[in-house]
């Protein structure tokens, strides 16, 4: 493999990590509250509200069913507005973040649903306010499950980031496509794919280990 | 006891669950009074409505009609913030403990104090005191998952006591525990009742729990109040079928008293308190009247701190002899109940 390809792959690794973790961060900043809203407004929950739940739930479902590649294209004007350009690593962070929000929201909702209702009943009987119950009872109890879910989500975002390479994003995905696929360089293609596989495995495993370690049940 | 203040006064409580157009009457016209300092048992089969009843006391369940007064205050009239304040004075423990598994024992015990906005330093001090009461001061840094069921319930009791409540509601608090641990937990509750003058309301399906520590008992059957009163009174003289079943069969752990030597013979249960328990009245019966009875089961229990005995006997076959025996028992002041086999 030529030296310039090696350098490109190494840079690609950093770009991929950057895209993945920066997007995950922004996606969680938005997805966590949305997930909490989905959970608390559901039937029988603390802030039961059919209208809000249906509204937020529908948007989440719409975004989730939209193929990511389509979202990438649809988002181009928004990305240009925010980043000033529609190509490059930073440009792909915008659609990646947006695309991950509904996935994260559903994952958070499911983690919160795992908290036994008895805990909430106990909290209510203690005279805790609904907000106190959400932030001091439900969320802390869900932390191990939230971390396990985060590992799955970050791995998914990493996969998406490779796809972003197709429309001008950076990272390993772009290298695999441009140097590997279009130039029929099988070594580059499979090297980048192998690196992506290892990265996903490392993220998933560290998430599982961390989740297990802090789970006290 | 009736000169004590009323903690709870329930008047004609009715609760209906509606699900897909179908109605289920969980509580039907239940009225009862619970006084300060009492250990009040609410007993019934599963599905009888007792868990619903206890949840109406802190409005975890809303009632359909009727009125619940808590120290003279109508619970239904409370605004959400007022209700939260009232709830802080009504603690609750559960069959499944409901501890925060991700928090240490001491953090669990401190939570009600945090809700009451007690300063952190004070929270810690109080929580440590509470753990001492339940005998778990050395486990404060442990997580609930590292404790046994009995220890977890002790943590739950410490947590329930932390906010210095006026009432403690126990929802099948010992049902998940083995008999020995149940005994220990009940003794702890009894001690807390005595030392802290705490009113305790115990929901259970086990007569043995009621017999051991309750002063008063209400028997709930199919959403209705079957009988309520002093435990001693109901134990010696159960008026309703449900009460008789509970008292006689206990938890099913007692000897089955229904194996009469002749099918169709008359069987009665005699109950006697600590005084007559010292008298060998069965031998006296034989000596005095010459009639014999067949003892099917017998045991003694402690009911509300007083020794009680009960015996299930098969009467002689002749009607005349039966009457002689029954008259003899009555003359000795024993409580006699017919058992339908």
| CATH number of residue B49's parent domain | 3.40.50.300
- Please indicate, yes or no, whether residues B31 and B144 belong to a single structural domain of this protein: yes
Task: Pick the last residue of a domain from B238, B263, B294.
Answer: B238
Interface test mutation site (partner A, options B98, B110, B168, B201, max chain A beta carbons within 10 A): B98
B189-214 pLDDT per residue, tens: 999 999 999 999 999 998 889 988 99
- What's the complex ipTM? 0.87
Where does the pLDDT of residue A47 fall: very low under 50, low under 70, confident under 90, or very high at 90 and above?
very high
Instruction: Assess if residue B305 is contained within a domain.
Output: yes
Considering only alpha carbons, which residue of chain B is nearest residue A136? B111
- Please indicate, yes or no, whether residues B202 and B328 belong to a single structural domain of this protein: no
Instruction: Assess if residue B244 is contained within a domain.
Output: no
- Please indicate, yes or no, whether residues B61 and B210 belong to a single structural domain of this protein: yes
Crossing angle (nearest 10°) for helices A3-40 and A89-113: 40
Query: Closest Cα partner for B187 from B133, B144, B139, B136?
Result: B133
Instruction: Assess if residue B310 is contained within a domain.
Output: yes
- Please indicate, yes or no, whether residues B230 and B281 belong to a single structural domain of this protein: no
Both tokens of residue A206?
Answer: 């560290």
Both tokens of residue B63?
Answer: 């009632």
Mean of the per-residue pLDDT values for chain B? 88
Considering only alpha carbons, which residue of chain B is nearest residue A216? B102
Task: Pick the last residue of a domain from B212, B238, B264.
Answer: B238
Task: Pick the last residue of a domain from B208, B238, B268.
Answer: B238
Q: Is B145 on the interface with A (CB under 8 A)?
A: yes
pLDDT: which is higher, B317 or A45: A45
Instruction: Assess if residue B69 is contained within a domain.
Output: yes
Mean pLDDT of B155-166: 96
For residue A191, pLDDT over 90 is answered with yes
User: Could you tell me what percent of chain B has a pLDDT over 90?
Assistant: 60
Domain A3-214 has CATH 2.160.10.10: no
| CATH number of residue B323's parent domain | 3.30.70.260
Lowest mean pLDDT among B74-88, B132-146, B234-248, B316-330: B234-248
- Please indicate, yes or no, whether residues B128 and B259 belong to a single structural domain of this protein: no
Chain A residues touching B116 at Cβ < 8 A: 127
Q: How far apart are the first and last CA of chain B?
A: 37
User: Are the C-beta atoms of B210 and B229 separated by less than 8 Å?
Assistant: no
For residue B335, pLDDT over 90 is answered with no
Where does the pLDDT of residue A22 fall: very low under 50, low under 70, confident under 90, or very high at 90 and above?
very high
User: Are the C-beta atoms of B198 and B192 separated by less than 8 Å?
Assistant: yes
B51-61 pLDDT per residue, tens: 999 999 999 99
Chain A residues touching B114 at Cβ < 8 A: 136
pLDDT, position B304: 57
Specify the pTM. 0.84
User: Could you tell me what percent of chain B has a pLDDT over 70?
Assistant: 89
Mean pLDDT of A35-55: 97
pLDDT: which is higher, B241 or B303: B241
For residue B64, pLDDT over 90 is answered with yes
Question: Chain A residues contacting B, CB < 8 Å?
Answer: 116, 118-119, 121-122, 124-129, 132, 136-137, 140-141, 143-144, 214-217
Scan residues 181-210 of B and list those with Cβ closer than 8 Å to A. none
A155-181 pLDDT per residue, tens: 999 999 988 877 788 889 889 888 888
Q: Where are the domains of chain A?
A: 3-214
Both tokens of residue A32?
Answer: 């966590």
Quick count: other Cβ atoms within 10 Å of Cβ B4?
12
What range does the domain containing B202 cover?
6-238
- Please indicate, yes or no, whether residues B137 and B184 belong to a single structural domain of this protein: yes
Mean pLDDT of B138-154: 95
Query: Cα(B18)–Cα(A194) distance, rounded to whole angstroms?
Result: 57
pLDDT, position B90: 97
For residue A112, pLDDT over 60 is answered with yes
Instruction: Assess if residue B211 is contained within a domain.
Output: yes
Q: Which residue from A124, A128, A217 is facing B101, i.e. has the nearest CB? A: A217
B224-260 pLDDT per residue, tens: 999 999 998 888 888 888 888 787 665 444 445 556 6
Query: Cα(A145)–Cα(A163) distance, rounded to whole angstroms?
Result: 28
Number of domains in chain B: 2
């Amino acid at each position: 493999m030529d030296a310039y390809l090696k350098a490109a792959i190494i840079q690609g690794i950093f770009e991929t990590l950057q895209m993945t973790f920066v997007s995950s961060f922004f996606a969680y900043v938005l997805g966590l509250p949305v997930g909490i809203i989905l959970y608390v407004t559901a039937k029988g929950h603390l802030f039961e509200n059919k209208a809000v739940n249906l509204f937020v739930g529908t948007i989440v479902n719409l975004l989730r069913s939209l193929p990511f590649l389509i979202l990438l294209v649809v988002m181009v004007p928004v990305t240009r507005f925010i980043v000033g350009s529609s190509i490059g690593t930073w440009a792909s962070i915008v659609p990646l973040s947006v695309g991950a929000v509904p996935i994260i929201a559903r994952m958070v909702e499911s983690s919160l649903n795992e908290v036994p209702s008895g805990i909430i009943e106990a909290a209510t009987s203690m005279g805790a306010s609904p907000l106190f119950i959400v932030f001091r009872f439900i969320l802390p109890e869900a932390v191990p499950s939230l971390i396990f879910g985060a590992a799955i989500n970050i791995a998914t975002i990493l996969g998406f980031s490779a796809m972003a390479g197709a429309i001008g994003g950076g990272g390993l995905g772009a290298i695999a496509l441009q140097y590997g696929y279009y130039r029929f360089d099988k070594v580059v293609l499979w090297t980048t794919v192998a690196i992506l596989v290892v990265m996903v495995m490392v993220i998933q495993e560290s998430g599982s280990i961390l989740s297990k370690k802090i789970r006290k049940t | 006891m009736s000169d004590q203040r009323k903690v709870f006064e329930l008047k004609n409580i009715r609760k209906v669950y509606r699900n897909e157009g179908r109605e289920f009457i969980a509580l039907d016209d239940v009225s009862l009074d619970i006084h300060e300092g009492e250990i009040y048992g609410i007993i019934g089969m599963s599905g009888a409505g007792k868990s619903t009843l206890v949840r109406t006391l802190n409005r975890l369940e809303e009632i359909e009609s009727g009125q619940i007064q808590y120290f003279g205050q109508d619970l239904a009239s409370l605004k959400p913030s007022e209700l939260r304040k009232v709830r802080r004075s009504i603690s609750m423990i559960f069959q499944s403990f409901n501890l925060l598994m991700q928090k240490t024992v001491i953090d669990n015990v401190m939570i009600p104090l945090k809700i009451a906005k007690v300063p952190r330093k004070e929270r810690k001090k109080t929580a440590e005191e509470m753990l001492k009461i339940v005998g778990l001061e050395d486990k404060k840094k442990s997580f609930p998952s590292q404790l046994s069921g009995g220890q977890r319930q002790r943590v739950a009791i410490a947590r329930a006591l932390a906010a210095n409540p006026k009432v403690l509601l126990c929802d099948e608090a010992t049902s998940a525990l083995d008999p020995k641990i149940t005994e220990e937990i009940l003794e702890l509750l009894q001690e807390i009742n005595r030392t802290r003058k705490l009113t305790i309301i115990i929901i259970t399906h086990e007569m043995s729990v009621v017999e051991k520590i309750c002063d008063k008992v209400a028997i709930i059957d199919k959403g209705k109040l079957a009988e309520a009163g002093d435990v001693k009174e109901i134990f010696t003289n159960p008026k309703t079928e449900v009460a008789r079943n509970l008292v006689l069969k206990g938890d099913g752990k007692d000897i089955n008293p229904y194996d009469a030597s002749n099918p169709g013979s008359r069987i009665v249960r005699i109950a006697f308190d600590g005084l007559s328990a010292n008298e060998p009245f069965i031998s006296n019966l034989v000596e005095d009247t010459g009639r014999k009875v067949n003892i099917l089961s017998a045991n003694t229990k402690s009911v509300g701190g007083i020794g009680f005995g009960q015996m299930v006997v098969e009467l002689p076959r002749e009607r005349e002899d039966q009457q002689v025996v029954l008259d003899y028992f009555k003359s000795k002041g024993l409580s006699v109940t017919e058992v339908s086999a």
